Amino acid sequence: MLVTEQERLKEDLQALAQRHGRGRGALLPILQDVQTRHGQVSGYAMQVIADLLDIHPVEVFSVVSFYAFLNAAPQGRFVVRLCRTITCDMAGKDRVARQLENDLKIKFGETTPDGRFTLEWANCLGMCDQGPALLVNDQVLTKVTPEQVHEILEACRKSFSPHALAAKEEHHS
Amino acid sequence: MIPSHKGTLTFSSIEPNAGLKAALSKGRADLIGEISASGLRGRGGAGFPTGVKWNLAAAAKDAEKYVICNADEGEPGTFKDRVILADFPDLVFEGMTIGGYAIGAKRGWLYLRGEYAYLRAPLEEVLARRRKEKLLGRKAGGKEGFEFDIEIRMGSGAYVCGEETALIESLEGHRGEPRNRPPFPVDTGFQGHPTIVQNVETICWVPCILVKGGGWFKKSGTEKSPGLKLFSVSGDCARPGVYEFPLGITVAKLLTAVGGEGAKAVQVGGASGRCVPAGEFSRALAFEDVSTGGSIIVLGPQRDMLRVARNFLEFFVEESCGQCTPCREGCVKLLEGAELLEQGRCSMSYLTELCRLGETMQLAAKCGLGQSAPNAFLSIVEHFRDELMGRAPRNGNGQHG
């Protein structure tokens, strides 16, 4: 990481500590915000947070590693989580899963090389009457069919700026 | 008989804040007395009497007490709390405020599961409005000397945080690992102070009881399980959704109401619950018979019961916090056993051994998660043994999950 990027991250973390406080109870809200804003809680971020809250970095790591929605490794801009629990399974989540893997060209637990998508399993999303259910970042989608997968991913892709997309395509060609 | 529409549940017939008004006009003892008289028991599944809980917390001598509403609804097949939080957020906050008044707390938290993050913004708006309407903050509800406010805290994808002491650990900024109980949170809760942790639905029944009376509540349900209850119905039925029934309703009656006749079994209580086979559909959904937090998964005749059991075990392997050995290792062993059964390679003596391991987990695991993790597997082995033994191995059609 560049020194300037580190500085920027540090400033951001200081602002978060300012907002949530420096008590131990602030740890989870801070980590959740870091995850949302930076797509990961990096080792460096954990060290800075530990300093701010005056706890050992291992304490921070132990919390990050416990919760499914916190990640030390970088996650894609869109985290796609497919519910694998029983009623979504009964409603046909296997085919949705296969199509997600086909269209994203990655397996569950992986991130696309361009850093746009991470594909993960989720346990019960609380949409059991409307499965198969999918969580795309904070947005929940229900009764997902394999043929809708493409549309859903395209809708995500559209949110990247045309400039960014063009640059990416140039890079690939 | 009532499908999931906003207008048809009891919650929608309650005048906003009438319960809070009634509560604040009473003394604390009277208020808790009314809740005790109603016989209300925890709707999250454990069924602890709410009046007793509030009495213990109210009697504890401490300047700091807390109210926590447990919206970490993670039990497979349960989604009633999502519907309540979306359709009746005021009732949730009203109930929490009443709880705060009853036990003498100034602060409350709504612990919302990370998977429901999309509900956060609308809930924050409701909180802001309630502050503006002076229903929260100093002199809350116009009551001199009563101060109460509520903060929303998010979970981060850990089922075990639905266990009340794990939830408190998480609020304190730790891993969501359950504590030993006793001491119970009513005595030693958030940062060691008396704390009541209530399920979303339980807290919503409180204002209803104060408006309509404890006697009204007690009129429905059974003697040991009074009142109405919301059920989350999913799986192989014509009309899945949230339903309101009196406790004590039989599985058969419920199935008729939701269009699930002809089911081969019903999983009651989610992954941590039990599998009720068709032969036992006359049993009652109540704390004294088949106890549940409201998760009803209908399994049609075509369902492979081993696949159901395996799915639940995968769930627990993933969600075990890893703190105690019976749960951490037991779940993995049971899942391996289910895989052996799937491949048709499990001897009867090994299956018996697995069942004994499951019973050990029920006794020896530290918290409710570990104690109930083997339930589904054990009840499926008990009732569907003929489906499980001597299977032909699956041909190469890969399986996900």
pLDDT of residue A166: 46
pLDDT band at B6 (very low <50, low <70, confident <90, very high): low
Give the H/E segment covering residue B357: helix B348-364
Q: Quick: pLDDT tens for B136-157.
A: 999 999 999 999 999 999 999 9
Annotated domain spans of chain A: 3-66, 78-172
Both tokens of residue A117?
């998508």
Give span(s): CATH 3.10.20.600, chain B.
228-299
Span(s) in chain B for CATH 1.20.1440.230: 305-388
- Cβ distance A31 to B156 less than 8 Å, yes or no, reads yes
Q: Is B63 helix (H, G, I), strand (E, B) or coil?
A: coil
- CA-angle at B134, arms to B130 and B138, nearest 5°: 120
Question: Is A70 in Cβ contact with B234 (below 8 Å)?
Answer: no
Task: Write down the pLDDT at residue A162.
Answer: 57
For the beta sheet containing B274-277, the strands, ordered from the edge strand earlier in sequence to the opposite edge, are: B241-246, B228-235, B295-299, B265-268, B274-277
ipTM of the complex, rounded to two decimals = 0.93
HSE-up (13 A, CA, CB side) for residue A75: 25
Q: Please write the tens of the pLDDT for every residue from B322-362.
A: 999 999 999 999 999 999 999 999 999 999 999 999 999 99
Task: For A34-52, give one letter per residue: b (16+ CB within 10 A) or e.
Answer: bbeeebbbbeebbebbbeb
Q: What is the pLDDT of residue B320?
A: 97
CB contact under 8 A, A126 and B297: no
Per-residue pLDDT in tens (0 to 9) along chain A, 173 residues? 778 899 999 999 999 999 999 999 999 999 999 999 999 999 999 999 999 999 999 999 999 999 999 999 999 999 999 999 999 999 999 999 999 999 999 999 999 999 999 999 999 999 999 999 999 999 999 999 999 999 999 999 998 755 544 444 444 43
In sequence order, which residues have a C-beta less than 8 Å from that of residue B80 and are 6 or more positions away? B73, B200, B201, B230, B231, B232, B242, B294
Chain A residues whose CB is inside 8 A of the B159 CB are: 123-124
* Whole-number CA gyration radius for chain B: 22
- Rounded to whole angstroms, the Cα distance separating B383 from A127 reads 28
CA distance B129 to B244: 29
- Interface contact flag, A69 B157, Cβ < 8 Å: yes
At A3 the pLDDT is 81
Instruction: Classify residue B137 as left (phi > 0), alpha (psi -120 to 50) or beta.
Output: left
CB-neighbour burial class of residue A173 (10 A; exposed 0-12, middle 13-18, buried 19+): exposed
Fold for the domain defined by B305-388? de novo design (two linked rop proteins) (1.20.1440)
DSSP B115-182: GGGGGHHHHHHHHHHHHHTTSSBTTGGG-TT--BEEEEEE--S-GGGGSHHHHHHHHTTS--PPPPSS
> How confident is the model over B202-249, as pLDDT tens digits?
999 999 999 999 999 999 999 999 999 999 999 999 999 999 999 999
Strands B274-277 and B265-268, by their bridges, are antiparallel
Q: Would you state the pLDDT for residue A83? A: 98
Domain B6-219 = CATH 3.40.50.11540: yes
In whole angstroms, what is the distance from residue B67 CA to residue B197 CA? 6
A122 contacts in chain B (CB < 8 Å): 115, 157
Mark yes or no for CB contact A140/B118 under 8 Å.
yes
**What is the pLDDT at residue B7?**
67
Which residues of A are less than 8 Å from B124 in CB distance? none
Rounded to 5 degrees, φ, ψ at A121 are -85, 150
Chain B CB contacts of A36 below 8 Å: none
Please determine, looking at this structure, whether the domain spanning A78-172 carries the CATH number 3.40.30.10: yes
Is residue A32 packed enough to be buried (19+ CB in 10 Å), middle (13-18) or exposed (0-12)? buried
Distance CA B19, CA B13 (A): 12
CA atoms of B215 and B226, how far apart (whole Å): 10
Alpha-carbon distance B326 to B320, whole Å? 10
What pLDDT is recorded for position A159? Answer: 85
Distance in Å, alpha carbon of B226 to nearest chain A alpha carbon: 26
- pLDDT for A163: 52
d(CA B10, CA A111): 46
Number of neighbouring beta carbons within 10 Å of residue B391: 16
Whole-number pLDDT of residue B139: 96
- The answer to whether B353 contacts chain A (CB < 8 Å) is no
- Cα B64 to the center of its chain, rounded Å: 26
CATH class name, domain B228-299 = alpha beta
Which whole number is the average pLDDT over B359-386?
Answer: 96
Mean pLDDT of chain B, nearest integer: 95
Task: Check if B305 contacts A (Cβ < 8 Å).
Answer: no
**Nearest chain A Cα to B300, which residue?**
A90
Which residue on chain A is closest to B235 by alpha carbon? A87
pLDDT of res. A170: 44
Q: With pLDDT > 90 as the criterion, what percentage of chain B qualifies?
A: 95
| Residue B5 confidence (pLDDT) above 70 | no
